[in-house]
């Protein structure tokens, strides 16, 4: 059907970025490509800034920010930087000198200000910007990056006035500059890096996706977003395509047949934007990429060698129905499903709402996914209401509200100033947060099921700002919703968090990080739900059975880190 | 006249990035930008991204040491502490600088939009 990806032929630029949702195999594809080019005799540097990167395991090495020669892999050098570690180092560079000089309360304030997602993003960009400089250009024939900057990062670096104003006077306008402040000396380097990313003869963006709707849509979104920013040399790689996709197998069971059908359907109906890109595929392999041999195998058409035998799902796994019964018994009227995009948190929220309604509870189901179309429905008993929070609309509404409330108070200049402030990327998070604090209030009367939750950082910000804003809240008194929110979220008697993930390396690592982040903010995320488990679906297809066997590592790991694990069988979406 | 405003660590100076927009913060930001156009030198330092001035300004450093970060914001007029623990009101800005802020706003915003074809 489509052409299998061959790095030696299909990689045509010096700088190559592999990007995609967690679990699409971008690190594996990047590593395999780097190996393949090195095998051909080129000097290759593989750069990883993916926090869930398993490069260390893959090469059985402890990689760090200095290029390490991979033993026995000719010409291959690798760098691996955890963005959190980089962010930590960066934070320390800014805050460290003031420890013991400024009072502890002031140092804590600074630290919290710099522990947001923005800081981590910038720190990650900082890591690869160096390799894009003229100085590093001739050190290697190829640079392979297993992450790409997001549109958000690039816009953050581009914020109007973010650089110029800040350097000139440090007095006005520059929103969200906090995380950038320690990097002022690097401004020129960043501009150079950004320029390099835009040169079509120098840089290619490879979007790695699975043959499924959500990752393909995500790929389309980033392709569009990065394209708008001038990063136009783009290639799509669909990874994990069943080698017998279009072949009928007579003895096939339902799960195996549906698995192939869903892949085919996703590929046929993929977003328009992707149709214009050069496209390659990689076949689904029996085994995930765990070492250089399996990495090379990834690039070979077919399902690969060694067969694994499937075992069954651990018996300790709870059924979702049982979990819902417990929620009802405990009267936890606020339920969040959390996780990265594509793990099925929205459909999980809908399932939970339905289960609650079936049991006669009044339910309010809410989604922040603008693509969600739910209709109000009456359950057999009780109420079933749905709400959609559209982040874009909420942000617009919030902007308008703020500006309206300022009218008469501010002059023309003040308004212009506010407009620039409101263009900052933080605004959306806050606007959504508002919409959602109003929703949470409904949990007095309903079981409120929401398919997202604020990040730990937002909550900590809220908390830190609590003391500062308290006075004002008491004055205006109209923001009960916000004031009541945090204690409610932190009370496990009232609130249940369900962390939704997939039985694969990256999603499991990501969920571990999310769990840590939430615990840091004083929340209690006790249950994980693993979606789309092949082992729980018991397919007959030998390739799928081998994949199912591979899941066990990740299900076991989840069992170790989570109090309670729910495993849901693979089903067509 | 030089005004120096020492803010607590915050994402931005209006609070739009915070848990809520503080109209007070926006008003202060507006007042400050109006004062600047009238030739007053106003410097603003955010503890979150410019900690050095907090250490290098003895009056601010002393307040921080004595009362902790809650003492912020602190405002200095020509080096003297004129406000701590809260932002100045519009009247206070006017009293320190001798500039009428209210009038300034109105005269600016009452322009008539004339289109010439």
Q: Which residue of A has its CA nearest to B3?
A: A171
Nearest to A410 among B27, B51, B70 (CB): B27
Q: Is-catalytic flag, A23?
A: yes
At A484, give phi and psi (nearest 5°): -85, -15
In this prediction the ipTM stands at 0.76
Q: Is-catalytic flag, A28?
A: yes
In a domain, B76, yes or no: yes
Q: Are A28 and A156 in contact (CB under 8 A)?
A: no
In a domain, B109, yes or no: no
Q: Is-catalytic flag, A506?
A: yes
CATH of the domain at B68: 3.40.30.10
Q: How confident is the model at residue A157, as a pLDDT?
A: 62
In a domain, B111, yes or no: no
Q: How confident is the model at residue A169, as a pLDDT?
A: 37
Task: Let me know if A479 is exposed, middle or buried by CB neighbors in 10 A (0-12, 13-18, 19+).
Answer: middle
Task: Let me know if B89 is exposed, middle or buried by CB neighbors in 10 A (0-12, 13-18, 19+).
Answer: middle
Mean of the pLDDT values across residues B5-27? 66
Global confidence as pTM: 0.75
Nearest to A110 among B27, B36, B47 (CB): B47
Q: Is-catalytic flag, A383?
A: no
- A421's CB contacts (< 8 A; 6+ apart) are A173, A175, B12, B13, B14, B16, B17, B26, B29
**B14 Cβ under 8 Å from any chain A Cβ:** yes
Mean of the pLDDT values across residues B82-99? 92
Q: How confident is the model at residue A462, as a pLDDT?
A: 55
Specify the higher pLDDT residue, B3 or A460: B3
Nearest to A409 among B27, B55, B61 (CB): B27
In a domain, B102, yes or no: no
Per-block mean pLDDT, blocks of 10 residues, chain A (573 long)? 89 94 87 96 91 79 89 90 79 85 86 69 76 91 88 61 36 39 61 88 95 90 89 95 83 88 93 93 90 92 72 66 95 90 85 92 83 57 77 84 71 67 67 76 85 65 47 45 76 94 88 86 90 90 88 92 93 80
In a domain, B103, yes or no: no
The helix (run of H) or strand (run of E) holding residue B36 is helix B23-37
Q: How confident is the model at residue B103, as a pLDDT?
A: 52
In a domain, B114, yes or no: no
Domain boundaries of chain A, sorted by first residue: 3-249, 319-569
Residue in B2, B87, B93 with CA at minimum distance from that of residue B39: B2
Q: Are A21 and A214 in contact (CB under 8 A)?
A: yes
* Counted domains in chain B: 1
Q: Domain spanning A3-249: which CATH class is it, in words?
A: alpha beta
Which residues on B lie below 8 Å from A422 (Cβ)? Answer: 16
Q: Domain spanning A319-569: which CATH class is it, in words?
A: alpha beta
Q: How confident is the model at residue A413, as a pLDDT?
A: 62
A293: preceding bond cis by omega (within 30 degrees): no
Domain housing B34: 2-97
Specify the higher pLDDT residue, B49 or A351: A351
In a domain, B75, yes or no: yes
């Amino acid at each position: 059907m489509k052409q299998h990806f061959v790095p030696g032929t299909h990689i045509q630029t010096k700088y190559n970025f592999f990007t995609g949702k967690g679990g699409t195999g971008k690190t594996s594809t990047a590593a395999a490509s780097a190996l393949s080019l090195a095998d051909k005799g080129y000097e290759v540097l593989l750069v990883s800034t993916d926090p869930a990167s398993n490069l260390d395991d893959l090469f059985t090495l402890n990689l760090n920010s200095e290029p390490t020669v991979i033993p026995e892999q000719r010409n291959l050098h690798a760098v691996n930087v955890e963005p959190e570690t980089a962010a930590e180092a960066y934070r320390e560079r800014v805050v460290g000198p003031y420890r013991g000089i400024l009072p502890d309360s002031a140092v804590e304030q600074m630290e919290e200000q710099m522990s947001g997602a923005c800081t981590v993003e910038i720190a990650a960009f900082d890591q690869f910007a160096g390799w894009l400089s003229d100085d590093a250009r001739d050190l290697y024939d190829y640079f392979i990056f297993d992450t790409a900057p997001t549109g958000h990062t690039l816009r953050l670096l581009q914020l109007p006035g973010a650089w110029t104003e800040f350097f000139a006077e440090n007095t006005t306008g520059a929103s969200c500059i906090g995380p950038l402040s320690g990097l002022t000396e690097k401004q020129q380097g960043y501009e150079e890096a950004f320029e390099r990313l835009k040169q079509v003869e120098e840089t290619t963006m490879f979007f790695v996706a699975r043959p499924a709707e959500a990752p393909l849509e995500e790929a389309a979104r980033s392709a569009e977003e990065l394209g708008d920013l001038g990063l136009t040399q783009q290639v799509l790689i669909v990874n994990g395509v069943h080698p017998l996709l279009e072949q009928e197998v007579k003895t096939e069971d339902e799960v195996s047949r549906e698995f192939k059908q869903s892949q085919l359907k996703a590929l046929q109906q993929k977003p328009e934007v992707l149709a214009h890109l050069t496209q390659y595929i990689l076949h689904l392999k029996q085994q995930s990429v765990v070492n250089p041999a399996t990495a090379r195998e990834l690039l070979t058409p077919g399902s690969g060698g060694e067969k694994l035998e499937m075992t069954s799902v651990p018996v300790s796994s709870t059924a979702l129905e049982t979990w819902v019964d417990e929620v009802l018994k405990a009267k936890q009227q606020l339920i969040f499903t959390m996780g990265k995009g594509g793990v099925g948190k929205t459909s999980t929220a809908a399932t939970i709402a339905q289960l609650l309604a079936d049991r006669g509870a009044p339910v309010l189901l809410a989604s922040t996914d603008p693509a969600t179309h739910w209709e109000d429905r009456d359950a057999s008993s009780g109420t079933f209401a749905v709400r959609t929070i559209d982040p874009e609309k909420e942000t617009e509404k919030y902007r308008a509200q703020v500006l309206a409330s300022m009218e008469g108070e501010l002059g023309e200049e003040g308004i212009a100033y506010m407009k620039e402030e409101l263009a900052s990327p933080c605004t959306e998070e806050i606007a959504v947060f508002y919409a959602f604090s109003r929703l949470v209030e409904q949990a007095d009367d309903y079981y409120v099921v929401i398919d997202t939750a604020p990040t730990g950082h937002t909550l900590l910000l809220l908390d830190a700002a609590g003391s500062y804003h308290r006075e004002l809240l008491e004055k205006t008194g109209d923001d009960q919703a916000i004031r009541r929110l945090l204690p409610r979220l932190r009370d496990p008697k009232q609130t249940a968090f369900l962390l939704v993930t997939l039985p694969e390396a990256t999603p499991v690592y990501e969920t571990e990080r999310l769990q840590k982040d939430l615990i840091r903010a004083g929340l209690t995320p006790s249950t994980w739900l693993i979606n789309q488990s092949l082992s729980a679906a018991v397919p007959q297809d030998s390739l799928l059975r081998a994949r199912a066997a591979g899941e066990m590592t990740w299900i076991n790991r989840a069992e170790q880190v989570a109090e309670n694990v729910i495993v849901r069988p693979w089903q067509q979406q | 006249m030089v005004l120096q405003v020492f803010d607590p660590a915050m994402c931005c100076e209006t609070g739009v990035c915070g848990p809520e927009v503080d109209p007070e913060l926006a008003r202060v930001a507006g007042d400050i930008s109006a004062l600047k156009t009238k030739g007053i030198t106003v410097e603003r330092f955010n503890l979150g991204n410019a900690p050095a001035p907090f250490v290098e300004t003895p009056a601010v450093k002393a307040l921080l040491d004595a009362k902790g970060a809650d003492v912020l914001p602190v405002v200095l007029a020509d080096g003297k502490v004129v406000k701590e623990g809260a932002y100045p009101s519009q009247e206070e800005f006017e009293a320190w600088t001798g500039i009428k802020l209210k009038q300034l706003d109105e005269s600016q915003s009452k322009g008539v939009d004339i289109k010439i074809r």
